[in-house]
Structure 1
Amino acid sequence: MKIFGSSGVRGVANEELTPAFVARVAMAVGSVWRTDRDEPVRVALGRDTRVTGQMFADSASAGLASVGCDVDHLGVLPTPALQAYAAEEEIPAVMITASHNPPQYNGVKLVGTDGVELARDALERVEDRLLGERFAQVPWDETGDTRLVDDARERYVDALLASVDRERIAAADLTVALDPGHGAGALTSPEFFRRLGCRVVTVNAQPDGHFPGRDPEPVEKNLGDLRQLVATTDADVGIAHDGDADRAIFVDETGTHVEGDAALAAFAASELAPGDTTVSAVNVSQRLVDAVREAEADLELTPIGSTNIITSIQRLEREGQRVPVAGEGNGGVLFPDYRLARDGAYAAARFLELLADRAASDIAAEHAGYHNVRVNVHYEDDAERERLISLAEEAALEADAELTTIDGFRLDYGDAWVLVRPSGTEPVVRIYAEARDLARAEELAESMNSALQ
């Protein structure tokens, strides 16, 4: 696909992503939804806290109305809250968000009537409409209506509370340090964890599209405030979200960052039974591989991106496979029995259930022993991007390692691995490396980086 990447479409606001373009995306998807039903369609519309969110929501609303779609404006809320509303109301949805990207970015994510991100075949239909500018615009007196919905966030929190073990979490008497990163989770997660019976202390909890406290991506370098908050408040755990709160990253009770891969492995160890299957992306950590092997379960790899993981889960479930947990090491975890969507608040609550038995540091230690390195190689245009991919392929073919080409080029050396692939959301080629020895991981990443340079 030319327009939609691994998680929707994103770009720098008012440069790569303009109001006119967002309106055309909305017209294209609205046209597809109208054609499928051959009747007026109601569409939910939400956004995260980004400065340009209202501007793009207005553009999307106008585009949808122009093709005869009625629009439910949900305002600022997490992406999983929008998905929950779509599933409950059985209507499709449009989310204006750039998730973890820097403040200057924004984007569009499309959701079906089941509350699940649109699959690749559906996105291709939308893209065909968009590129061909085949919009099903209606006469002036058939344009869509709009209405404000002011209780979507409350309904989402209520549904979360009904889906986790509230008594177990409350009995653990936990102090939670929460960093919503000025994103949409600031409007839902503090209340959710308090209603779970936790003492909650916060940092960066004011909704602010400038993201003054930290960048939206909840990676270790951005979580200094949270680590300090955990240490100074004697918290049992720290929880950080990205901009649209579909991810959760943790800090243990000592103020130490918990690798997202370790948390995913802990969930897998808790949920998987013999014969089950889990799904992850091609940058999967050996931590998850170890947990899957220990559970006598199976692991299926996909290209990076939640859309690809969800598509594989749906296929496996149609084939009769049980997939109790899936996701990536970036904090985006899915529990398909709950909902086929990444949900940072739900994943965090499931982590709190684990804390009823042992400390966060003990959970992390059970899945430790590996070091990860990530390097971003920036490019200026498509020609430079293709040149970088070509250089990566040359280096991969020359390496003495097992090569996987599901998404980019992954080289497995037995004791370590390295992956190089272009990002689906930013103008960078990413290099990932993992090994039990940090120097070995750094060596592999730098070797690939040198090949690209």
Structure 2
Amino acid sequence: MTTIGIQQMMVDSGVAFGTSGARGLVSQMTDQVCAAYTLAFIYGLGLAKPGQRIALGMDLRPSSPAIVRACAAAIRQAGCEVDFYGALPTPALACYAMTQGVPAIMVTGSHIPFDRNGIKFYRAEGEISKADEAAMTAAVVEVADFRDDGVMPSVNAAALKHYKQRYTDLFSADLLAGWCIGIYEHSSVARDCLRDILQALGAEVIGLARTDTFVPIDTEAVSEEDRQRGLSWAGEHRFDAIISTDGDGDRPLIADETGDWLRGDIVGLLCARFLGAETVVTPVSCNTAIEASGLFKQVLRTRIGSPYVIAGMEQAEAGGSVAVAGFEANGGFLAGKGLAVNGRALVALPTRDAVLPALSLLVMAKQQGVKLSQLMTGLPRRFTASDRLQNFPGSNSRALLDELQDDDGAYRGLWGDALGVVARRDSTDGLRLLFENGEIVHLRPSGNAPELRCYAEADSIERAQALVDFSLQQIAARY
């Protein structure tokens, strides 16, 4: 046995909590580190009970099976039972675990680079909170010596079946009949699940760019290669839409009939409207068209990350809101209480999901008899763009944001007179600068990797993208 204090282990290993679970380099995520986190989850949150089942799943990263085996060994060490659901979308594992009333552990690095991975934790009620993270961080655990025999636990297919049925039961079987939809499969763990659901709803489905090599698709920073792929595929196949997700299937990537990828916050806005949301909870980084649209009685803004969105949703529901939805700039949609599809109640799923927003937009367009691109008609003309500087040290990010926050003239060192005067600063998460001309530039260090993210908002997509590109170029040149 080895005694491990989680707080010190985080420092020593470099594997620490980000905005969504514990993340680190694969080389840092040793068997001992992964087992220690698992035991901290079980003991720190008081989950160790005789016969307690722990649901366990993973994405398709090549490093995920070894992490699963270490987590499974720790679950058994704690006297709990391993209920392994194999490779499946994160929301599929979470949905089934909540239905069964059991805690869950998902091994996934989501969208972060190939050389990294992570572990996400769920109580029986849903995602762990920041208070739960603090309890885990304070834990001291005894980790048994572990020898990896390479044998995976047997797979229970019930969670994936339940997740697909959630959507095939909600919509009629011929709803998408006559539509041809492309699935950008890459290495998404949701690729086969998506195909099954879309075909069950009557769509013709064509798979695209499937690979066994992990591809870190970031739905907030679509690469130029993927932009061109979308346009090319749409031109070649005349799709009605192209659907994809990030690696673990909790963030959607949706292209219209022209192959143009839709922004995640606009996808969330449209999905919330379709589901009849009265209150929307969304991070500060999302498009201000959400308020300007006038579609919702209440809009609550939070820090970036699903735990903050969930906390905001719980606050809204406690305050009497009867139909609550949450979504992030990455398109991940969180279904609160009181939502419905064509009068049929939707069971709440307060964790990021990619399938619900994708289906909602497809169904909206089909029912209205319009192209996917036409769903944006009538929305306020506010456009967002985002990208990131990778391998950008956190110390550089902090120094930059401190300077821009404290020095009224520092922003001119980056943007000169191109944007005019800063009218307001918002430090809810990172630093969001609203300029007098109405344009917005938001800089924020990633909570999952050494990256600096830049979001911009303007009256045209070209201007928003130009602001992002120029801002990151200036920052990269400076550092």
TM category (shorter chain) comes to 0.7 to 0.9
- Matches of 1:244 and 1:448, distance apart in 2: 28
The partner residue of 1:153 within 147, 150, 160 is 160
Q: Which residue of 2 aligns with 1:200?
A: 205
Aligned partner letter, 1:72:
D
Q: Which residue of 2 aligns with 1:69?
A: 80
Q: Which residue of 2 aligns with 1:142?
A: none
Q: 1:12-411 alignment to 2 at 5 Å?
A: 12-14=25-27, 16-33=28-45, 35-36=46-47, 38-114=49-125, 116-129=126-139, 133-135=140-142, 148-162=155-169, 164-167=170-173, 169-170=175-176, 173-205=178-210, 208=212, 210-211=213-214, 214-218=215-219, 219-221=221-223, 222-272=226-276, 276-291=278-293, 294-337=294-337, 338=347, 339-356=349-366, 357=368, 358-367=370-379, 369-378=381-390, 381=393, 383-394=395-406, 400-411=422-433
- Matches of 2:35 and 2:48, distance apart in 1: 21
Tell me, yes or no, if the aligned pair for 1:77 and 1:153 is still in contact at 8 Å.
yes
- Matches of 2:467 and 2:295, distance apart in 1: 32
Aligned partner letter, 2:198:
F
Matched residue SS, 1:369: coil
- Matches of 1:352 and 1:36, distance apart in 2: 40
- TM superposition shift of 1:147: 5.3
Structure with the largest fraction of helix: 1
- TM superposition shift of 1:419: 1.1
Structure 1 gap segments, 5+ residues each: 139-144
What TM-score results when the alignment is normalised by the length of structure 1? Answer: 0.86
Matched residue SS, 2:17: coil
Count of residue pairs the alignment pairs up:
431
- Matches of 2:373 and 2:359, distance apart in 1: 17
Q: Which residue of 2 aligns with 1:5?
A: 18
CA shift digits 1:178-217 (9 cap, x unpaired): 11332211231111110111111111345x2x23xx5322
Tell me, yes or no, if the aligned pair for 2:392 and 2:452 is still in contact at 8 Å.
no
Tell me, yes or no, if the aligned pair for 1:80 and 1:245 is still in contact at 8 Å.
yes
- Matches of 2:445 and 2:422, distance apart in 1: 22
CA shift digits 1:11-47 (9 cap, x unpaired): 2211x433321111011112234x3565442101100
CA RMSD of aligned residues (A): 2.8
Tell me, yes or no, if the aligned pair for 1:279 and 1:302 is still in contact at 8 Å.
yes
Structure 2 gap segments, 5+ residues each: 1-6, 11-15, 146-151, 338-346, 411-420
- Matches of 1:74 and 1:387, distance apart in 2: 43
Matched residue SS, 1:279: strand
Distance 1:299 1:290, change over 3 A: same
Matched residue SS, 1:134: strand
CA shift digits 1:155-174 (9 cap, x unpaired): 22122212x3225724x532
What TM-score results when the alignment is normalised by the length of structure 2? Answer: 0.82
- Matches of 2:191 and 2:406, distance apart in 1: 45
CA shift digits 1:393-436 (9 cap, x unpaired): 23578663212111111122351111112110110222211111
- TM superposition shift of 1:237: 0.9
Aligned partner letter, 2:206:
V
- Matches of 1:19 and 1:396, distance apart in 2: 48
